[in-house]
Chain A
Amino acid sequence: MAAALPKFVGPEGPYDVIIVGSGAGGGMSAYELTRRGLKVLMLEAGRNYDPRVESPMFNTNAEAPLRGVGTPDKPFGFYDATVDGGWEVPNEPYTVAPGSEPFIWWRPRMLGGRTNHWGRIALRFGPLDFKPYSRDGLGYDWPITYDEVAPWYDKTEKLIGVSGAAAARNLLNTPDSPPGCLMESAPPRAFEIFYERAFRKMGIPVIPMHGAVVTGQMEGRNTCVFATPCGRGCAIGANFQSTTVLLPPAMATGNLAIRTDALVYQIDMDKAGKAKGVSFVDRKTGEHHSVTAKSVVLAAGSGETARILLNTKTAAFPNGLCNTHGMVGRYLMDSVGTGVTGQFPSMEGLPPTNDDGQGTQHTYIPWWGYEKQKELGFARGYHIEIGGGRHMPSMGMAGLLDKGDTSVGDELRAKLRNRFGSTIGFDGRGEMIPNDDCYCEIDPGAKDKWGIPVLRFHWKWGEHETNQAAHAVKTFLAVIDMLGGKPQGKVETEGHKAISKGGEMIHEIGTARMGHSDKDSVVDQYGRSWAVPNLFIMDGATMVSSPDKNPTLSILALAWRSADNMATLAKQGAI
């Protein structure tokens, strides 16, 4: 679908700030900077996208080609919101170094970036997550504490709309949000009531998921209709997307201009060593443009942000901007992913019930083994995301049948009817400790369609991660057994086979991390680069560790904190 709006909307320059990217980091920084009176030009590599008119909320699979199954054109299924992207983006390759373990990189090309299709799991990092080195001597500490970020989590939850309110539990490293931050989740569905019993017996708490979905009354927002998958986009803006929650109020200030199809490839520098703007290529016309502003915010996503820095080479920075100490592209991390699905006779033949729910899981299992890490054989933990229920049938329906089953007719119908909704998938999402083998750099030869050098990734999981994956599989098998079920399909019990590919969890972060000085980091705690005083980074690139909690809420909270600081500096004339 072609963009309906002109490529350039909003006020003309001169601009105070150029923001590269429109997702969680870019959207939130635009929200704050425009509210504070700064004139902002946002550059988005993808096309304009409007979830209000483009979300196929109630479409059925029968209306879609191939009944909506994933294809190389739409890897997460026909109805996934992602535009012009997925594991491959046309004309924009990346490479993986010879000898590396697999790495895959999910990119969309659309306004709002990955906030349009994300899982809406909005968990806070906890106090231990900001000081992992202090806890166990592995990885690195952040230059900030949970207490410093907590007020920004509060504000972010109240702004974007998050469900999961519950009485305070005081679980270790699993922060309770203060009263007033969260809305109540919808009640647990049948499969959630079912699995809770097994974890309860194991002494493991099951608590409400924090999901970026408006489940109650919230001023200025519509309430969820408890019907359709959030990953298709939300035409009524009941879940969080940058395009429905952050960009409209930023536009309403009159201070935000947006230019789409603008693939930024370098920071333009002046003679004094400050950023004077950026250069981009129009993805549709191939024309190159340069735009100027008093300062620049990179929020293009960890990979693209690193690529822009590394492709900006000057006499002072021959190896890439801000890369004096070789830190850019380093400490690349993802989440540890692994999963097992079980089929449960106890869930067979339940009376028909509507399990569509609120888009996110209604409950989940936070990591419970903080005090047993030494005996477990891995240093960090994972939370468990659990899916099940009687969801809209898909092409996978025959997977409900036993392997050797060849039934037809009434017998087949009865089996399918009986087993519909009787499977439950258990997925671990765990912390990865940064290591020297995981990083990105500029490929020495490969270029994109416009001649811009592309990223080359290096990846190798550490033993802490593979041991964690093995533990997760063992846990899932134990739970499935306790619930009288059987695992479906081939189950890998060895960690290095059970673990996801690098990048597969789409939580790649940490290529321009924050720290105490330019010796250990690329930016300060507010995302301001040590090397270029008017260059800021406000996406996942600045993250120092990769806790099990999905990163989007933290990207939003940190971007808000950084943008607040930047606006203050700008008003003081201190940039």
Chain B
Amino acid sequence: MSDPTPEPYVSKIDRRTALAWIGVVGAATAVGAGVVVYGPKTGGERVTRGYGTDPNLTKPEKAPWGRIMIDAQLQTAAILADFILPATATAPSASTLGVPDFIDEWVSAPYPDQIKDRSVIMNGLNALSAHVLKADAAGRTAAMTALQTSKDEATHKFFRRFRSLTVGAYYTTDAGFKDIGYIGNVPRTSDPGPSAEVKAVLDREFAKLGL
């Protein structure tokens, strides 16, 4: 369940990066502590190139393309992402991990799969924003719960896709690894194979399956 009084989402990107995306200094404005507002009417051409066929793999640069989401969309994305994955006693919320910025990176990307998602996500956020940005906690929750059960095809598609992007963005972080129980990506001197505990579980399953 979402926080009844969510703080405004603070973008996890820095202002300099945002300016680089837009291409000209002064095209974006910084509002308050690190909140960057940028939009289509700020002048200059948005950078639309991809990262190319030979990017630096060991120290990846930030995705070079400019971002298209305006603040209302980012704030809506933050509220919905935290409805999908709110904080728990042991795991942070989706917005804490910068998921809204990732959604922005995704829908702004100049590649076919992401372009296909762009209108689905942007239209969905635009439709949702009216119901969550100025609503009270009960109204927000009602609007987002309605997404889960909607029979409207576009709404359903938006929710599924947004949730899928949120889940992917969340669980690819270190905090996501911890939450889901991924304990790899560490060098080892040998691979001992599964523990006796794991093997015991498998043995019980084999018995159930008659194998």
Q: Give A contacts to B, CB under 8 Å.
A: 1, 47, 53-56, 58-69, 71-74, 78-79, 81, 83-86, 90, 186-190, 193-194, 197-198, 201, 223, 225-228, 232, 346-347, 350-358, 390-398, 406, 408-410, 412-413, 416-417, 420, 482-484
Residues of A near B183 (CB, < 8 A) are 352-354, 390
Contact between chains at B188 and A225 (CB < 8 Å): yes
B184/A78 in contact, CB under 8 A: no
8 Å CB interface, B169-211 against A:
169, 171-174, 176-177, 179-195, 197-199, 201-202, 205-206, 208-209, 211
Interface residue ranges, B against A (CB under 8 Å): 1, 50-58, 60, 62-63, 83-86, 88, 91, 102, 105-106, 109, 111-114, 148-149, 159-160, 163-165, 167-169, 171-174, 176-177, 179-195, 197-199, 201-202, 205-206, 208-209, 211
Q: Which of A66, A78, A198, A390 contacts B181 (CB 8 A)?
A: A390
Q: How far is the CB of A163 from chain B (nearest CB, A)?
A: 11
Residues of B near A201 (CB, < 8 A) are 211
With A85-B53, A420-B180: A406-B198 Cβ-Cβ less than 8 Å: no
Tell whether A58 pairs with B194 under 8 Å between CB atoms, given A66-B109, A409-B86, A483-B209. Answer: no
In the complex the two chains form, is A413's CB within 8 Å of B109's CB? no
Interface of A is mostly: loop
Shortest distance from the beta carbon of B80 to any chain A beta carbon, whole Å: 9
Tell me whether A72 and B111 are in contact in the complex, defined as CB-CB below 8 angstroms, given that A55-B57, A197-B211 are known contacts: yes
Closest 8 CB pairs of A and B: A187-B193, A395-B168, A186-B191, A65-B63, A346-B205, A225-B187, A398-B164, A356-B184
Q: A197-B209, A393-B177 are in contact. List 5 more A-B contacts (CB 8 A).
A: A62-B169, A197-B206, A390-B184, A394-B168, A413-B179
Please, could you name 16 A-B residue pairs with CB atoms under 8 Å apart, sorted by A? Answer: A1-B57, A58-B187, A65-B55, A65-B63, A68-B172, A71-B109, A186-B190, A187-B191, A197-B211, A346-B208, A354-B183, A354-B186, A390-B184, A393-B176, A398-B167, A406-B148
In the bound complex, CA of A484 to CA of B60 (Å): 41
> Given A65-B63, A72-B112, A393-B172, A226–B190 Cβ distance below 8 Å?
yes
CB distance from B89 to the nearest CB of A (A): 11
Chain A residues with CB under 8 Å of B169's CB are 62, 67, 395
Which residue of chain B has the shortest Cβ distance to A416 in the bound complex? B180
Q: Are A392 and B185 in contact (CB under 8 A)?
A: yes
A346 to B208, CA, bound (A): 9
Which A residue's beta carbon lies closest to that of B49? A73
With the chains together, A199 CA to B110 CA distance in Å?
45
Residues in B neighbouring A358, C-beta threshold 8 A: 191
Q: From B201, which residue of chain A is reached at the shortest CB distance? A: A350
Of A1, A72, A351, A393, which contacts B180 at CB under 8 A? A393
Nearest CB of B to A197, in Å: 4
Cα(A69)–Cα(B197), bound, Å: 34
The 8 Å CB contact of B105, one of A65, A83, A228, is: A65
* Distance between Cα atoms of A420 and B60 in the complex (Å): 27
Known: A55-B58, A346-B205. A354 touches B184 (CB 8 A): yes
A347 to B180, CA, bound (A): 15
Cα–Cα, bound, A1→B51 (Å): 11
Closest to B188 in A: A226
User: Are A412 and B167 also in contact (CB < 8 A) when A90-B53, A358-B191 are?
Assistant: yes
B193 engages A189 (CB within 8 Å): yes
- Knowing A56-B58, A84-B54, A412-B85, the reply to whether A188 touches B185 (Cβ < 8 A) is no
State in angstroms the CA–CA spacing of A74 and B184 once bound together: 24
Cβ–Cβ < 8 Å partners of B191 in chain A: 186-187, 226, 354, 356-358
Q: In angstroms, how far is the closest chain A Cβ from the Cβ of B159?
A: 7
Establish whether residues A65 and B168, one from each chain, have CB atoms under 8 Å apart when the complex forms.
no
Complex alpha-carbon distance, A21 and B55, angstroms? 23
Q: Which residues of chain A are near B173, meaning CB under 8 Å?
A: 60, 62
**Pairwise interchain contact B54-A47, C-beta atoms closer than 8 A:** yes
Taking each of A69, A190, A390, A408, which has the highest tally of chain B beta carbons within 10 Å of its own beta carbon?
A408
- Indicate if the CB atoms of B56 and A420 lie closer than 8 Å: no
Q: Which residues of A contact B201 (CB under 8 A)?
A: 350-351
Q: Are B198 and A190 in contact (CB under 8 A)?
A: yes
B184 (CB) vs chain A CBs: closest residue = A356
Residue of A85, A357, A393, A409 touching B182 (CB-CB under 8 A)? A393
> How far does the Cβ of A77 sit from chain B's closest Cβ, in whole Å?
10
Q: Is the CB of B53 within 8 A of A84?
A: yes
Q: Chain A nearest CB: distance from B206 CB in Å?
A: 6
A420 touches B55 (CB 8 A): no
> Which among B60, B148, B206 is the interface contact of A65 at CB below 8 angstroms?
B60
State whether A78 and B148 are in contact (beta carbons under 8 Å apart), knowing that A413-B179, A482-B211, A483-B209 are contacts in the complex.
no
